[in-house]
Structure 1
Amino acid sequence: MHETPDLECREISKNFDNFKAVDNVSFSVPQGKFFSILGPSGCGKTTLLRMIAGFQKPSGGDLLIKGRSVVDVPPNQRPVSMVFQHLALFPMMNIGANVGFGLRQRGVNKTDIKKQVERVLQRVGLGGVADRAVSSLSGGQKQRVAIARCMILEPDVLLLDEPLGALDLKLREHMKIELKQLQSEFNTTFVYITHDQSEALVMSDQIAVMNHGVFEQVGSAKDLYYEPQTAFVAGFVGEANKIAATVEDVSGSLLTLRTEQGRPVKAIAAAKGLSRGDKAEVFVRPEAVRLSRDEGGTAVNGGEGLVQSVLFNGANSQVLLRDGQSGSEISVALPQTGEFRDLTQGDTVHYQWEPEQTRVYSLG
């Protein structure tokens, strides 16, 4: 039996004069899923979220929640709630009053409000703090109060507009895990927008990568990372070495290219539609590149490199090489074996990667 999705957008678009901010976007989110819209500033993700919330009216298309069109439904009558980046908590109200605000607007009696406020505060790990001032809370606690204020209204869909953007780095890392746990606890559909790929990759069941008003690809974190369908997705999700090249030969699934600096590159399962003479972009993940002190190995891609710098970041340390033949720069993730712990600027090493680790996209 086909289950009606909690949220469905059908060819939704939004124009501002001659500018198309959202261009015929279609997607659906099943009940209880964490769906993220990931993209750079200005790609249209906030406009899309505001249309779902009802703050902006689409120029075309349809929006359905639980199978019912809400295009003409006012924001306060839609079964959605929204958490903003700056949370918008009321400083003159205590925590309980903030959380119960929506119920008061609905005319719920004080006794029921008090019970429901305590119940939802318990679920976000803040039981017994209803009488405290908002100013007494940490950044992470304020985040949970903002979510509690939304969840007490039992929305079908919770919209989150870059809610971690105002937090410091350490707290953001903690809240990524906590938000996913809260979403599972409430089993409510979350639609989350962000420009931070790590937030989307860690928390989401499905991610839509948005660029210039359209969805470039929708899939799981692993789909987007290991099987990017476009050059934009390959470059935006995760880190990658990007190399300009020209196709020299296509033989079944094996593609032979030559970089602008003259180095050959081979790829397997390359992007479709490429033929001899085409200009292309080659993407290789830093962790796909292997280092060795001596020349050798069976990989057909790679060469000799001079260490330009070593970027120590614990488990995510990298080394930046300059290819001895072409002069191009290659970023390599350092293995955690300790073998290259003493690597320093000016050292010469050999690097290589497999054709299967190479992603190629047409520039045409």
Structure 2
Amino acid sequence: MTTHTPDLSCVDLVKDFDSFRAVDHVSFEVPQGSFFSILGPSGCGKTTLLRMIAGFQSPTSGDLRIKGRSMIGVPPNKRPVSMVFQHLALFPTMNIGDNVGFGLRQRGVAKPEITRRVEDILARVGLPGVAQRRVDQLSGGQKQRVAIARCMVLEPDVLLLDEPLGALDLKLREHMKIELKALQAEFNTTFVYITHDQSEALVMSDNIAVMNHGRFEQVGPPQEVYHDPQTAFVAGFVGEANKIAATVAAVNGPNLTLRTEAGTELKATAPASGLQSGQRAQVFLRPEAIGLSMTPGDAGEDNVSQGTVTAVLFNGANSSVTVEDASGHALSVALPQTGGFADLRRGSTVYTRWHPDKARLYAAEG
């Protein structure tokens, strides 16, 4: 059977700063030609991890391999990686062609070859004929593509991207998500992308690693991470979620009965939760998993609750509706504009409902 060496692999990687552990025994592999995102909040260790891959910092222990070759002790300029920074770091005194060809000049490549390769890479990123322009003559999106071209002209095995969309406005950021994914597919180069923005990771990635306190809590495709979060942190960090505190009242195989602090009974189907009767639990529900109606529906239906609308926020294709029940607990509901709720107002009486298998259950922290 043929096996393929991953472009990047980290084995039990640790990084300590005195008594603080920034990266805590992280292991993962990134296959050739894939888009791998490391997603997590500020301070979780993701940038430290990226800097170790680039060679700007040395691991305390563990191994880091590119194309099967250990990079421990290999300086940054000798590694087959390039890096796009958040603020791009283009040279304002150089024209676009000189910016893109800078790394080739540092490697001693002949001038005619530099010219040819620069023109070729600019065409591949959709910027033909701009080599003589100044940096300040380009838009934000064009500058992003120049920064990528400057890296890709060096033909790296792995391209590292450290929150490169963070400085862009919202509309351009949405556009660049599509462009980045298209560029990655065009070059078939392995991208390792650092972000705290879940929407960036979900849209662009083949696989996402969700990082928290120096560790990977879950690694998997975007759909799996979103729909089947393995920990309470992942459920709360990736996507929007309602969180309900409850206690397990009964367990019947995969079917659980829970009671909230206000005494409301909930039904949930959670085959692998491991929760036991009497245990405190956290129940997570996606806003789009909750239905809304003006009538109570069938008698005996699970997880139906009467409430009062306290807010209706128009978001374009959807509205975000906040419903508060008699106990004062609020649920956020994602409501399509085509759902027939045009007259829904603050103060309206409604009924929320959700199927038991839509909940994700975890043991309560502490």
Please tell me the TM-score bracket, short chain as reference.
over 0.9
C-alpha distance in 2 between matches for 1:213 and 1:159:
19
C-alpha distance in 2 between matches for 1:264 and 1:317:
27
Contact between 2:249 and 2:278, CA under 8 Å: does it hold in 1?
yes
Aligned-pair distance for 1:189? 0.0
Query: In structure 2, which of residues 309, 316, 319 is the aligned counterpart of residue 307 of structure 1?
Result: 309
| 1:148-227 matches, cutoff 5 A | 148-227=149-228
C-alpha distance in 1 between matches for 2:272 and 2:238:
17
Moved over 6 A (4+): none
Contact between 1:299 and 1:354, CA under 8 Å: does it hold in 2?
no
Indicate the residue corresponding to 2:67 in structure 1: 66
Query: In structure 2, which of residues 307, 317, 320 is the aligned counterpart of residue 318 of structure 1?
Result: 320
- Counterpart of 1:201 in structure 2: which amino acid? L
Aligned-pair distance for 1:266? 1.1
TM-score (norm 2): 0.98
Q: Give the 3-state SS of the residue equivalent to 1:193 in structure 2.
A: strand
TM-score (norm 1): 0.98
Contact between 2:296 and 2:304, CA under 8 Å: does it hold in 1?
no
C-alpha distance in 2 between matches for 1:265 and 1:75:
55
Structure 2: gaps spanning 5 or more residues: none
Q: Give the 3-state SS of the residue equivalent to 1:27 in structure 2.
A: strand
- Counterpart of 2:45 in structure 1: which amino acid? G
- The Cα offsets for residues 191-248 of structure 1, whole Å up to 9 and x where unpaired, read as 0000000000000000000000000000001001110000000001110100001111
Alpha carbons of 1:178 and 1:299: their partners in 2 closer, same or farther (altered >3 Å)?
Answer: farther
- Counterpart of 2:51 in structure 1: which amino acid? R
- Counterpart of 2:318 in structure 1: which amino acid? N
Q: Which moved more, 1:310-319 or 1:81-90?
A: 310-319
C-alpha distance in 2 between matches for 1:299 and 1:51:
54
C-alpha distance in 2 between matches for 1:183 and 1:103:
21
| 1:1-364 matches, cutoff 5 A | 1-297=2-298, 299-324=301-326, 326-363=327-364
Q: Give the 3-state SS of the residue equivalent to 1:334 in structure 2.
A: strand
- Counterpart of 1:126 in structure 2: which amino acid? L
C-alpha distance in 2 between matches for 1:319 and 1:145:
42
Aligned-pair distance for 1:23? 0.1
Q: Give the 3-state SS of the residue equivalent to 2:175 in structure 1.
A: helix
Q: Give the 3-state SS of the residue equivalent to 1:321 in structure 2.
A: strand
- Counterpart of 2:148 in structure 1: which amino acid? I
Contact between 2:96 and 2:132, CA under 8 Å: does it hold in 1?
yes
C-alpha distance in 2 between matches for 1:234 and 1:99:
41
Aligned-pair distance for 1:270? 4.6
C-alpha distance in 2 between matches for 1:45 and 1:313:
31
C-alpha distance in 2 between matches for 1:24 and 1:96:
42
Aligned-pair distance for 1:292? 0.6
Give aligned-pair identity as a percent. 71
C-alpha distance in 1 between matches for 2:129 and 2:334:
47
Contact between 2:253 and 2:271, CA under 8 Å: does it hold in 1?
no
Contact between 2:273 and 2:361, CA under 8 Å: does it hold in 1?
no
Aligned-pair distance for 1:273? 2.0
Q: Give the 3-state SS of the residue equivalent to 1:281 in structure 2.
A: strand
C-alpha distance in 1 between matches for 2:272 and 2:137:
54
Aligned-pair distance for 1:302? 2.8
C-alpha distance in 2 between matches for 1:262 and 1:82:
54
Alpha carbons of 1:2 and 1:114: their partners in 2 closer, same or farther (altered >3 Å)?
Answer: same
Contact between 1:307 and 1:346, CA under 8 Å: does it hold in 2?
yes
C-alpha distance in 2 between matches for 1:46 and 1:39:
10
Aligned-pair distance for 1:271? 4.1
C-alpha distance in 2 between matches for 1:282 and 1:299:
19
- The Cα offsets for residues 40-63 of structure 1, whole Å up to 9 and x where unpaired, read as 000000000000000000001000
Aligned-pair distance for 1:315? 1.2
Q: CA RMSD in A?
A: 0.9
C-alpha distance in 1 between matches for 2:68 and 2:352:
54
Q: How many residues align?
A: 363
- Counterpart of 1:302 in structure 2: which amino acid? V
Aligned-pair distance for 1:338? 4.2
C-alpha distance in 2 between matches for 1:289 and 1:299:
14
Contact between 1:244 and 1:259, CA under 8 Å: does it hold in 2?
yes
Contact between 1:8 and 1:63, CA under 8 Å: does it hold in 2?
yes
Q: Give the 3-state SS of the residue equivalent to 1:147 in structure 2.
A: helix
Q: Give the 3-state SS of the residue equivalent to 2:171 in structure 1.
A: helix
C-alpha distance in 2 between matches for 1:316 and 1:73:
51
C-alpha distance in 2 between matches for 1:151 and 1:352:
51
Aligned-pair distance for 1:260? 1.1
- Counterpart of 1:59 in structure 2: which amino acid? T
